[in-house]
Chain A
């Protein structure tokens, strides 16, 4: 659902056109100026074909200082950002030794485990001394420690499935598992806004990939019916298997998937479901068990549940939780398990301790407190931003809230102004989002106190006025517009 003021759509398209025109002119002059230079590498093919790097060179590099800022501390609610300067208009950036302490509104630190924690950190240091930072081996050789087996059982229990398998990287979990689960002759139906790891895994599997409109169970049903009726591409034989891939919280929209309806559609047409809970595990649901708990879906219905430890647990790595047979099969076939180094033991211990805190098994109720805190923080922040007139996406209870910027010039303006006022935000533009819909993505953490949130709101409001992104009129008219909107939906 795209909602934007008409005038903003026109100006955004015009701005992109202008940037494109300038980029083309600069390329033209570069070609002319480079004509007399001799080509020392005769006979070699060019690294970049044609215009492949045009976007990077002419649009991304202009605002490069807003992306990839180095940090100098743990990503807690306040974070140290290293200052950088550039002598050639952002083509190259140089680090200084100055550090700015900023309010951290960009890290995926949903439950506050990213910085030192009173229960987790001593245990992690203990395991670092005992098991050392790396296992120096793959899981099947010598890389499975006691911690790994303990975490697999704990993760499976936490999510509500019989068994689980771990991987060292969240991205790799998706891109290496999907090819192990499905191959040529199978069909993958994935949500149109799925993460790049899923897209890569689907492409690498060799199966046919179809896309359904984001979060629209009726369109999914349409696609399923059409594909089941047609069968495989040329032979029209029935598909070997059909997997529908969706995410718990979509990180660019902050909205939850319509899990019950989509599960009903998949059950009806006997398609397998693969749920990627990277952002939702540990952050939503009454006891933090993710989107299944929040929306009341039985975890036994979802065939494969994937998640990462990077977001809510303050560690790194990913897991797949499914039935015992599937996990056994994956342990024998998935190349990331057979040939990739196992997770670092202190990282495993961090996840174990974090899950124990969330479940309350550490003997305190800090887990429940953190979950309540993040829910309250997210709802408070979102409602305040709405009241100020920003266009904020995302559902209730979701800790991810993108603020729409639209115009390409507002991306670096917003980012730089916020940094000047000591707030670190993450801005996302094309091609990670659609062209017109550039946004600044705010991630709220349980470690943000009320004062932090108030400061954040104050800075965002000031910067929003400066940059001009308060697209929707304030309170009184906003409720009128929302009522009209509800009628249209």
Chain B
């Protein structure tokens, strides 16, 4: 197999919590992790393909909601708490909205939703859960929701 080398010059991002997202291979590994977790769910639970996609979608929603939109700050102390009020989603790309990374991350839950609802034939209990998950995630990622805390939930 020919060795593929990637060469890029990522733009200077001083926030060490988010600058790893600018490097090559991040989108690919995200998609690959989702695909492999689908295979793992299938092999553990022995359910049909649609159930597995629903489970992947729901787990993905819970995990990404928690880490992108709930947890605030950075996992190390060197930046002296500069980002302590910002969630990871608000920190990436230095707060600029509608960049390529943000558009990609908004599309992924939608695509997962379509796959999950298609493979379960739009049957009811799963459809409601999937729809709720995708609604919450996409609304959380809209540019108007930047630094908005509804009803003061998760504010300082």
Contact = CB atoms under 8 A, between A and B. Distances in A.
B23 A9 contact: yes
A51 to B, nearest CB: 5
A164 to B, nearest CB: 31
Contact of B33 (A14, A51, A54, A56): A14
Interface stretch (A81-89, A132-140, A326-334, A430-438): A430-438
A246 to B, nearest CB: 14
A35 interface: no
A50 B72 contact: yes
Nearest to A59: B75
Contacts of A13: 20, 23, 25-26, 29
B interface SS class: loop
Nearest to A223: B12
Interface string A452-489: 00000000000000000000010000000100010010
Interface string A45-58: 00011111111100
A52 B76 contact: yes
Contacts of B16: 430-431, 434-435
Interface in B1-44: 3-12, 14, 16, 19-20, 23-26, 28-29, 32-33
Contacts, number: 100
A213 B7 contact: no
Given A14-B29, A17-B33, A49-B84, A435 B76 contact: no
Contacts of B3: 5, 473
A241 interface: no
A1 interface: yes
A10 B73 contact: no
A386 B80 CA distance: 39
A6 interface: yes
B60 interface: no
B33 A488 contact: no
A55 B29 CA distance: 22
Contacts of A212: 12
Nearest to B10: A2
A3 B9 CA distance: 9
Given A5-B5, A10-B28, A431 B10 contact: no
A4 B5 contact: yes
Given A6-B25, A434-B19, A48 B32 contact: no
A461 B6 CA distance: 24
B11 A213 contact: yes
Contacts of A5: 3-6
Given A9-B23, A212-B12, A430-B16, A51 B4 contact: no
Given A10-B32, A431-B16, A436 B23 contact: yes
A436 B12 contact: no
A435 B78 contact: no
A252 to B, nearest CB: 13
B76 A55 contact: yes
Nearest to A24: B67
Contact of B75 (A3, A9, A14, A51): A51
A211 interface: yes
Contact of A214 (B8, B12, B24, B73): B12
Contacts of B32: 10
Given A48-B77, A49-B73, A51-B75, A435 B12 contact: no
Interface string A209-221: 0011110000000
Contacts of B81: 49, 52
B73 A213 contact: no
Contact of A9 (B9, B11, B25, B33): B25
Interface of A: 1-7, 9-10, 13-14, 16-17, 48-56, 192, 211-214, 430-431, 434-436, 473, 481, 485, 488
11 contacts: A4-B5, A4-B24, A6-B6, A9-B6, A9-B23, A10-B25, A10-B32, A51-B74, A52-B73, A52-B77, A56-B76
Interface of B: 3-12, 14, 16, 19-20, 23-26, 28-29, 32-33, 71-78, 81, 84
Given A3-B5, A436-B23, 15 more contacts: A2-B8, A3-B6, A4-B5, A9-B6, A9-B25, A10-B25, A13-B25, A14-B29, A49-B84, A50-B72, A53-B75, A54-B76, A55-B76, A214-B12, A434-B10
